[in-house]
Amino acid sequence: MPGAAVLAARAAYRAGAGFVTIATASEVRLHLIKAVPEALILDIKSSNGCLNRESLKQIKTYLKNNPQDVILAGCGLGKGAQIILKLLKSVNIPAVIDADGLNYIAKAGAENLCGLNCILTPHEGEIKRLLGKISFDKDTAAEKISALSGAVCLLKGPTTQICFGNLKNINTSGNEGLAKAGSGDVLSGIIAALWGKLIKSGISARSSAFNAACLGVFLHGAAADYCVKEISKESLTASDVICALSYTLKKLLD
């Protein structure tokens, strides 16, 4: 789903990222260049669009030669998500994990993330898979996944919960217009950008992860609230939220 990568990259730039690379299968490379001309496109060899062992080697080589502050893994990745765990363990770069990345981590076991610096961004369906349960307690689910994985875990919903160890935040910005496809990709891009900026400022990845997640969720919701002053919640799209990020940030920082 290349559109997921487009939304995440655009959101990252609007949230303050200075340099974004999109690693993608060759089949959709040209589409991404047109959609996000600001981004560098890392052309990855794949098997019918699915990333493999050779793809992993390419990404690792690129990251070695071009150090990055944060990785966002999973958006629109499909079956290629199976390389995520091996990648993160071999490059030791902080990572936001979303979408297909979460589904693969659910199969591999969230405990495999222990020792890594990660932020997990599941919605209700994804957290069920991470927990391995059909039903769950919304008040404690994010805490359980955080304890199991050692990662920051945020459970997306009407009042998104962010948990990390003994820390817990309940977000109040946003509206039901965000309950649309693409909103999660935008959120992940925002969080990745803010986390990278905090790390660049000298705060360790471990210490800044919770704040990056909380700030990202709030900014995402605040941008959606800005949008609905002019358009209806029914009409709100993920792209509208990206466009509103610059105005929302200016208002918050002024």
Segment 172-211, tens digit of pLDDT: 999 999 999 999 999 999 999 999 999 999 999 999 999 9
CA angle (220 as vertex; 119, 78 as ends), nearest 5: 50
pLDDT digits (tens, 9 = 90+) for 61-72: 999 999 999 999
Mean pLDDT of the chain: 95
Determine how β-strand 161-164 pairs with β-strand 167-170: antiparallel
| Spatial separation of the C-alpha atoms in residues 169 and 174, rounded to whole Å | 15
The pLDDT, as a whole number, for residue 25 is 86
Sign of torsion, CA 62 17 5 31? negative
- The DSSP secondary-structure symbol of 50 reads B
Give the mean model confidence (pLDDT) for residues 106-132.
96
pLDDT digits (tens, 9 = 90+) for 208-237: 999 999 999 999 999 999 999 999 999 999
| C-beta atoms surrounding 139 within 10 Å | 11
| C-beta atoms surrounding 206 within 10 Å | 12
CA-wise closest residue to 23 among 37, 9, 13 = 9
User: Going from the N-terminus, what domains does the chain have, and what CATH number goes with each?
Assistant: 69-253 (3.40.1190.20)
Give the mean model confidence (pLDDT) for residues 9-38.
95
Strand boundaries in the chain, DSSP class E:
21-25, 40-44, 71-73, 95-97, 118-120, 152-155, 161-164, 167-170
Rounded to two decimals, what is the model's pTM? 0.97
CA-wise closest residue to 39 among 60, 66, 18 = 18
Backbone dihedral region for residue 73 (phi beyond 0: left; psi -120 to 50: alpha; all else: beta): beta
The pLDDT, as a whole number, for residue 49 is 61
